[in-house]
Structures are given as C-alpha cells and as structure tokens.
Amino acid sequence: MNIKLGYQIYSARDVAETNLELVCEKLKEYGYDGVEFAGFYGKTKEEVKAILDKTGLVAVSSHVPYDSIVADMEGTIEYHKYLGCKYIAIPYLSEELRPGAPGFAEAIKTVYTFGALCKQNGIQLLYHNHDFEFIQLSGMYGLDFLYAATPADILATELDTCWVKVAGEDPAAYIRKYANRCPIVHLKDFIGAKKEGEAMYALIKADGSDDVKVEANKEPAFDFRPVGYGKQNIPEIIKAGLESGATWFVVEQDRSSERPSLDAAKMSCDYVRAL
C-alpha cells in the first residue's frame, strides 16, 4: 500500500522541545514522507524551512490554535506559505466556542473568514475534531453542523479517527461521509474505553506545549497506542481514505506511556508501510 504518510510532531513534543531537527531526521529515517506541525518551538520560519530542506520532509499541515489565528490571520498564513504548507488545521475549540456553547456561532464566522483568506493564498483550512463535537445540535452532530454551515472549499475535514471511534461512530464510514472533503486523515490508535468526564487529550498551545498533564503512573482503561497496536481497523480506515480522496495520512499519538515517543513513531510507520 503506497501512501503519503506524515507524522504529527506534537506526538514527539518531549524531544522536539529541545531538538526539532533530530525528530525530523528520525522521522525521515523511519520512512515518513512529511510532518504536521503544532507549534514551532520558538524557531523562525527560516530555521524550520532549513530543517525541512535538510531532511527532505514535506510540511504537510499545521495545527494552529484558534486564538493564535484570531490574533494574526495574515501572519499565520505568511509563515505557513513560506514553509510550503498547503493545509492549516484548527486543532480544537475551547469550551465557550464549542457546539452548543454561546460562542459557536461566532467561531463559525471566524472559520469562514480565515478559511476564505487561506483559500486566497493557496492554503486549505481544515478542522481537526475531538469527541466533544459529537453532541446533537439542530438534529445533527455539532461537527456535521460546522461542516454544513461552511462551504467545502472554505473548510475541509481532518478527521481524527480515534475520537470518531470514541464518540461511537465508525471511522471508515465517517471518512466516506466526507468523501472528497477529507484531504488528510489522522491515524490514531488506542485501547480501552474513555471514562466519563475524563480528559484524555492535551490541547496544544501556540508553542507546541500542552495544557493538560496526565499522571505518568496512572493506568487508565483508555490509552493511546502506536498505529496498528490498538482496537482500530487501520486497513479499513486507510482504504476508506484512499477511496474518498485523502492525499495524506498523518500518524498522531497523543502520548506514549509504554515506550519513548520516537520508538512509537517507528512502530506506527513500520505497521502502515507493511500493509
């Protein structure tokens, strides 16, 4: 199965915080084609571009916090255009902006404004879901409401297959639901079941750090695993993505509790490449 495989650098943020170049070198060595950013660890666009040029990795996409987008839309676009990044993803919405919250309507307006600006600059805006968008809103999921309210050329999907599954939906079927609107699919595997009220994901800040700390010695029923080592049907997810127009698949593992993050990255890549 010959696919373009990327890696969300946030998954190896423990290493990237001090040595982004090493992370990129290792990812290229493992067999990844590109990377998705979530912050740039204090580096200028010139420094990041130099690392990409040296390693031969493609800047596939980038997770940019909503507040950072609102603060500087033009600057955000300029930085990513310099890297040759074709996709920018909104990685989450804070509680007051989520479906069902008072600020959701304003968030949709901002998404439209920024998405249109991205389009003018040759960039496609994406939305990366968690499970909190899967609440009922006007007879549909909040996630579907967001996509229904925004033209496909302004906002495309970056379906996180882990959170689609956690929300009770079939990831492959959901990808097919958004055929030709799903240029990037997140491959994320896990075990167990999320506990009620448990926040198992950390939300990125502009510098690529997170604002949720999970106790290292905690043994939850739910935990992330390298792709192919959890409960997800990865072959079917990839098949659905290819049939639905996906051009990139991006490995993401929010945390690696059993092994170093880069070791998990290699396991994920080896598994996908062996399909």
| pLDDT tens, residue by residue, 144-175 | 999 999 999 999 999 999 999 999 999 999 99
Token couple for 9: 């650098």
Contacts (Cβ under 8 Å, ≥6 apart) of 19: none
Token couple for 165: 């599954």
Question: How many Cα atoms within 13 Å fall on the side-chain side of residue 75?
Answer: 7
| pLDDT tens, residue by residue, 28-57 | 999 999 999 999 999 999 999 999 999 999
Give the domain range for residue 194.
5-274
| pLDDT tens, residue by residue, 174-193 | 999 999 999 999 999 999 98
Q: Residue 148: which CATH number?
A: 3.20.20.150
What is this structure's pTM?
A: 0.92
Contacts (Cβ under 8 Å, ≥6 apart) of 174: 159, 161, 164
Domain count within the chain: 1
